Amino acid sequence: MQLQFLGTSAGRPTKERNVTSIVLAMPEPHNFFWMFDAGEGTQHRLLETRLKLNKLERIFITHLHGDHLYGLPGLLSSRTYNEGSGPLHVYGPKGLRSYIECVFQTSKTHLNYELEVIEVEEGQIFSDDSFTVEAAELDHRIRCFGYRIEERPRPGQLNVDLLSRLGVLPGPSYGKLKRGEDLTLPNGQIIYSSEVVGQPVKGRIVTILGDTCPCDNATSLAKDADLLVHEATFAAGMEEKAAAYGHSTILQAAQIAADARVKQLAVTHFSSRFDSTEVDALIQSVNAVFSNVVAAHDFLELSVPKQITS
């Protein structure tokens, strides 16, 4: 899994940072990516990456503030010109459907692909054989969600040495055992999957939060995540101002990461008052609370490695 930031500024773009958007490229054999928020100019940022709109499968909008949303209609419209664009699913708070419908009706926009808009509530909002997505409401000035993307566990490692001694050759039999099915040999001997396959390997967890003050749901969504993306609009010591605007300081983000026992924290959504040097200083200021923290910048890519097999 590969996460890339397309915009990392709070409220409005700057010369160095566009407003919020994040993409998550899914691992092989999946050949698609998901997007989280689409602030104004997102499709322009996307043009500077290797990603193509016809490979975009799902969009998750955290809330309906413009710096997270205003790029969505243009992106949806442009996607219709990408050959091979299949169905697209867009998730977000109540009001998202009427927003899209109003813009498209007013501008007489027509799409040549299927668009499904899902207005979410708390709980599991997506599930397939590979991933689940959970949404929970955060503490912001308007209704805002965070999303927890969880990869399903992978089968454990085959004990190929033992299978070789038992006379089982590589091929369909290996696949059957990996799927948890027992195998009967021609001589009648039964090889039990549980005896030749290691423990399932825990899937990866990525948590992407929208704008928020510190809250219990932020911690629960982030619990044991491999990567947490958390806003850090303000510096430590500006907690009163952050609360007034429904945001967090970098110190509060670091505390959430520590409390949730995440492996890595990426902070984003920086106020335009901070230049790159000041952002670096913000990171240094929270090392005592949480050390594995990185300041996001536009086009930063972060890999989320697989768990070590058992």
The yes-or-no verdict on residue 230 having pLDDT over 70 is yes
State both tokens at 205: 């967890």
pLDDT tens, 26-47? 988 888 999 999 999 999 999 9
Catalytic residue among 37, 67, 226, 298: 67
Determine the pLDDT at residue 32.
96
CA distance 41 to 201: 39
Is residue 310 scored above 50 in pLDDT?
A: no
pLDDT of residue 198: 83
Question: Can you say whether the dihedral through the CA atoms of 251, 255, 256, 262 is positive or negative?
Answer: positive
pLDDT of residue 244: 97
Instruction: Report pLDDT for 176.
Output: 86
pLDDT above 70 for 153: yes
Report pLDDT for 309: 54
Give domain 2-154+200-303's CATH number out of 3.40.50.920, 3.40.50.880, 3.10.20.90, 3.60.15.10: 3.60.15.10
- At position 97, the amino acid (one-letter code) is R
The sign of the torsion formed by the CA atoms of 109, 111, 116, 118 equals: negative
Helix or strand holding residue 177 (H, E) = helix 172-178
pLDDT bracket for residue 154 (50, 70, 90): confident
Structure letter (DSSP) for residue 211? S
Kind plus residue range of the DSSP H or E element containing 107:
helix 96-107
Work out whether strand 205-209 and strand 227-231 pair parallel, antiparallel, or are unpaired: parallel
Q: Where in the chain is the domain with CATH 3.60.15.10?
A: 2-154+200-303
Question: In angstroms, rounded to a whole number, what is the distance separating the alpha carbons of residues 197 and 208?
Answer: 33
Per-residue model confidence (pLDDT) at position 192:
87
What is the mean predicted confidence (pLDDT) over 236-265? 97
Q: Is 67 a catalytic residue?
A: yes
Instruction: Kindly list the distances between the CA atom of residue 17 and the CA atoms of 59, 210, 297, in Å, as whole numbers in the listed order.
Output: 21, 17, 7
Please determine, for residue 308, whether its predicted confidence score (pLDDT) is greater than 80: no
65 is in an annotated binding site: yes
3-state SS assignment for residue 77: helix
- Total number of residues shown for the chain: 310
How far is residue 173 from each of residues 156, 177, 183, 187, 217, measured CA to CA in Å? 15, 6, 7, 15, 44
Q: What totals of helices (H) and strands (E) does the chain contain, helices first?
A: 10, 16
The reply to whether 110 sits in an annotated binding site is: no
Quick: pLDDT tens for 173-205.
888 888 888 988 888 889 888 888 888 889 999
Residue 89 annotated in ligand binding: no
72-92 pLDDT, tens digit per residue, is 999 999 999 999 999 999 999
- 297 in Cβ contact with 247 (< 8 Å): no
Residue 5: the pLDDT is: 98
Other beta carbons within 10 Å of 192: 12
Which one has a higher pLDDT value, 170 or 288?
A: 288
Average confidence score pLDDT of the chain? 94
User: Which is it for the CA torsion 11, 149, 145, 54, positive or negative?
Assistant: positive
How many Å apart are CA 63 and CA 94, to the nearest integer?
9
Under the banding of pLDDT at 50, 70 and 90, the label for residue 169 is confident
Please give the full DSSP string across 111-136, using - where no structure is assigned: -SS-EEEEE--SEEEEE-SSEEEEEE
Sequence-distant (≥ 6) Cβ neighbours of residue 197 within 8 angstroms: 155, 156, 157, 158, 159, 177, 178, 180
Report the distance separating Cα 263 and Cα 293, nearest Å: 9
Residue 307 has pLDDT above 80, yes or no: no
Hey, what are 304's tokens? 């989320």
- Note the pLDDT of residue 194: 85
